[in-house]
Amino acid sequence: MPAASRGVAFVGTGGVAQMHANALREVSGTHLVGAYSRSSENVARFSDQFETRAYRALGELLGDSQVEVVSVLTPVANHVKMSLACLQAGKHVLVEKPVGRTTEEIRMLTAAAASRGRLCVPVHNYIYSPAIQRAKQLIGQGKLGKLSSLWMIYNQKHDAGMGRPGLLLRELHIHHAYVTLFLGGRPIRVGALASNIHFSDPAAPDQAMVLCELPGGAVANLWGSFGVDDRTSNPWSVYYKVLGTGDGFTHSWDDCCSGDAQLPGWDKTGYRDSFLHVYDYFFNRCLANGDPPLSSLDNAVDALQVIEATEAAIEKQTFVKVGYA
């Protein structure tokens, strides 16, 4: 590998780590140094698959001078703890979404990153798609006219046994929240309805519709389902639409599919490539040129507050004002 290649290590070796590792392979000037997991079996399997080092302990990873950047890919309960340790060791951090369980947790990362002079960037991967960046540019330039409506629709059936209360909004609709913030700005208030039609746990919603009132009168329509696939001739697997008073924009992950769907969405090139776009932007724009990331910890705080308002709207069966703080 080139002498100037930047070293990356992973904390967490679950399914999403494969997406990250495959994406990193395509970014020139970077390489995967190694990975750590609390499961010795998982990290051994991962290191064999990607021909990389298996760290025996987190401290071993943090003490490796070859590692400049750490991707934190653990379950959300460990995101903040692991990210803080990496920042305190002087590493830049990419942390999977949702970044934390509370706004206070996320702000701890903001303070730690600032004190160490390091970047801590949420993997809000959907907005790194060139198509979504282009949509934001068109909106900002006024080329669609006055923003009228934003649609993000997700239908990908997952295993019924994975359902648990909070999963749908915190780990699926968090994508919808940060995309809405990126394209339409901060929602003023939200209303929502959720139901269970598939998950084994009847207390775990697997589909929800969220309506967001946006600045200027636009409305965001955010649908997400873990309960069904769309097998129609014009599928809404993951589908975006923006309408303005002049023109509009649309984008679908179904525009290009390849490979095996080992897990839902893995055959959608729009999904796989979103991780590539994150790493390419982070290394070639943020670290190389000093450009700010497209996703910040402040965005992560706002997205969580939108989700918290959505949870309150479902419970109260009414519209709830988003309390940004």
Q: Which helix (H) or strand (E) holds 309?
A: helix 297-316
Q: Could you give the count of Cα atoms lying within 13 Å of 299 in the half-sphere of its Cβ? A: 25
Neighbours of 317 (CB within 10 A): 9
102: pLDDT strictly greater than 70? yes
Is the pLDDT assigned to residue 2 strictly greater than 80? Answer: no
pLDDT in tens, 285-296: 999 999 999 999
Residue 136 has pLDDT above 70, yes or no: yes
Q: Are strands 69-72 and 92-96 parallel, antiparallel or unpaired?
A: parallel
Task: Note the pLDDT of residue 262.
Answer: 84
Query: pTM for this one?
Result: 0.96
Beta strands in the chain (DSSP E): 6-11, 30-36, 53-54, 69-72, 92-96, 120-123, 147-155, 189-195, 207-213, 219-225, 238-244, 248-252, 320-321
pLDDT at 49 over 80: yes
Average pLDDT in the 170-183 region? 98
Average pLDDT score over residue span 51-77: 97
Q: Does the pLDDT value for residue 263 go beyond 90?
A: no
Listed in sequence order, the residues at least 6 apart from 80 whose beta carbon sits closer than 8 Å to its beta carbon are 99, 100, 101, 105, 106, 108, 109
Amino acid at 228: V
Phi then psi dihedrals of residue 229, to 5 deg: -105, 150
Quote the Cα angle for 122-123-126, to 5°.
125
Sheet of 69-72: strand order equals 53-54, 30-36, 6-11, 69-72, 92-96, 120-123
Output the six-digit token pair for 194: 């959720």
pLDDT of res. 4: 75
Q: What is the mean pLDDT of residues 108-128?
A: 98
Share of the chain above pLDDT 90, in %: 97
The pLDDT, as a whole number, for residue 270 is 94
Q: Please tell me the distance from the alpha carbon of residue 104 to that of residue 119, in angstroms, as a whole number.
A: 18
In order of their start, the domains of the chain are 6-123 (3.40.50.720), 127-260+303-321 (3.30.360.10)
Across all residues in the chain, what is the average pLDDT? 96
What's residue 123's pLDDT? 98
**Helix axes of 173-184 and 297-316: crossing angle, nearest 10 degrees:** 120
pLDDT greater than 70 at residue 149: yes
Q: Which stretches does DSSP call E strand in 181-324? A: 189-195, 207-213, 219-225, 238-244, 248-252, 320-321
Can you give the length of the chain in residues?
Answer: 325
**pLDDT recorded at residue 203:** 97
- Position 28 pLDDT exceeds 90: yes
pLDDT tens digits, residue range 218-239? 999 999 999 999 999 999 999 9
